[in-house]
C-alpha cells in the first residue's frame, strides 16, 4: 500500500502515514500537514501529534471517525505536503561542548564515520538540523537528518546513564536528553539547554520543524552562559524564521 495513507489506531484515533522509514521529504510532510490541521482542525478532531513519518489524529468522538477520515483525505489531496515552503518555525543555536569529557564517544563515532575527532566535531557543529519529532520523554527532540556518513548503528549495549543536556548520536539523528537516563546511542556533546523545564514559562521549548544548530564553545563557557540566562534556556539563542 502506498503513501500517504490513513490507518485506524485503536478506537479513537487515526494515523496519517507518509512513510514507514526515516525520510526527509516524509518528515517535512508530517510537520506541514500537522501545522495545517492545528491551524484549521476538522470537526471531530481533539488533538494531533507528529512523529518521524506520521501524524496522530485523536478523535473527540469515535463515531466521527468516518467523517474525519474523509476530511483528512480531502486535505491530503489538496497539495504536495512534502514540498514547498515549510510552515513558520524558529532557529535555535544551542551552546555546546563537543567531544572530550562532554562527548566521551566522539572518537568512536568519528572513526565509524571515517573522520578524525576534530573533523567530526567541526562537521557536527556545521550540520543544519531540524526537530524531526518530540518523544520518548517530555520535550525530548530527535534532531536531523544528518548526512549519510552519520548513519551509524546504535550500541549493542546500554550506557547506564547520561546527564541532562547530553547529545547522543545514531542513525543520522541526534537526541538531546533533558533528564538523566540510559541510552543505546553514543554521546558526542553536552549543552546547557534543557528541552523540558517545568519552571520555564514554556516548559517544552522546541517544536517539530524548528531548525537547530550546535554552537560549539569550551565547556566553561557553556556552563557560564547557562548560569547567566534568566530565561532558563541554557544560553541558547532563538529567532523566528519563515
Closest CA to 64 of 5, 8, 4: 8
User: Considering the entire predicted model, what is its pTM?
Assistant: 0.94
Asked if 88 and 186 count as a contact pair (C-beta separation under 8 A), the reply is: no
User: How does pLDDT run along the chain (242 residues), one tens digit per residue?
Assistant: 799 999 999 999 999 999 999 999 999 999 999 999 999 999 999 999 999 999 999 999 999 999 999 999 999 999 999 998 899 999 999 999 999 999 999 999 999 999 999 999 999 999 999 999 999 999 999 999 999 999 999 999 999 999 999 999 999 999 999 999 999 999 999 999 999 999 999 999 999 999 999 999 999 999 999 999 999 999 999 999 97
Q: What is the grid cell recorded at 27?
A: 518528515
User: 3-class DSSP state for residue 119?
Assistant: helix
Reported in sequence order, the residue ranges of the chain that DSSP labels E, i.e. its strands, are 5-8, 13-17, 45-50, 54-59, 89-98, 129-134, 141-144, 159-162, 166-170, 173-176, 181-183, 186-191, 211-216, 237-241
Query: Contact 158/183 with Cβ under 8 angstroms?
Result: yes
Domains and CATH numbers, the chain: 5-76 (3.30.1360.40), 89-241 (2.40.100.10)
Instruction: Give CA–CA dist 209/93, Å, rounded.
Output: 14
Amino acid at each position: 500500500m502506498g503513501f500517504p495513507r490513513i490507518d485506524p489506531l485503536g478506537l479513537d484515533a487515526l494515523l496519517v502515514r507518509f512513510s514507514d522509514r526515516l525520510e526527509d521529504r516524509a518528515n517535512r510532510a508530517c510537520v506541514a500537514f500537522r501545522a495545517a490541521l492545528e491551524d484549521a482542525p476538522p470537526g471531530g478532531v481533539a488533538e494531533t501529534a507528529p512523529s518521524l513519518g506520521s501524524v496522530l489524529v485523536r478523535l473527540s468522538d469515535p463515531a466521527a471517525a468516518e467523517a474525519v477520515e474523509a476530511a483528512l483525505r480531502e486535505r491530503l489531496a489538496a497539495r504536495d505536503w512534502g514540498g514547498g515552503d515549510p510552515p513558520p518555525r524558529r532557529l535555535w543555536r544551542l551552546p555546546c561542548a563537543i567531544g572530550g569529557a562532554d562527548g566521551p564517544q566522539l572518537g568512536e563515532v568519528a572513526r565509524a564515520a571515517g573522520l578524525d575527532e576534530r573533523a567530526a566535531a567541526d562537521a557536527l557543529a556545521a550540520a543544519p538540523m531540524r526537530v524531526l519529532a518530540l518523544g520518548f520523554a517530555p520535550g525530548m527532540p530527535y534532531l536531523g537528518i544528518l548526512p549519510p556518513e552519520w548513519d551509524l548503528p546504535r550500541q549493542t549495549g546500554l550506557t547506564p546513564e547520561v546527564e541532562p543536556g547530553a547529545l547522543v548520536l545514531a542513525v543520522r539523528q541526534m537526541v538531546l536528553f533533558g533528564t538523566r537516563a540510559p541510552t543505546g546511542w553514543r554521546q558526542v556533546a553536552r549543552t546547557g539547554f534543557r528541552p523540558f523545564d517545568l519552571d520555564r514559562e514554556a516548559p517544552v521549548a522546541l517544536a517539530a520543524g524548528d531548525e537547530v544548530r550546535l554552537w560549539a564553545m569550551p565547556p566553561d563557557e557553556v556552563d557560564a552562559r547557562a548560569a547567566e540566562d534568566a530565561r532558563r534556556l541554557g544560553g541558547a539563542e532563538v529567532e523566528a524564521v519563515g
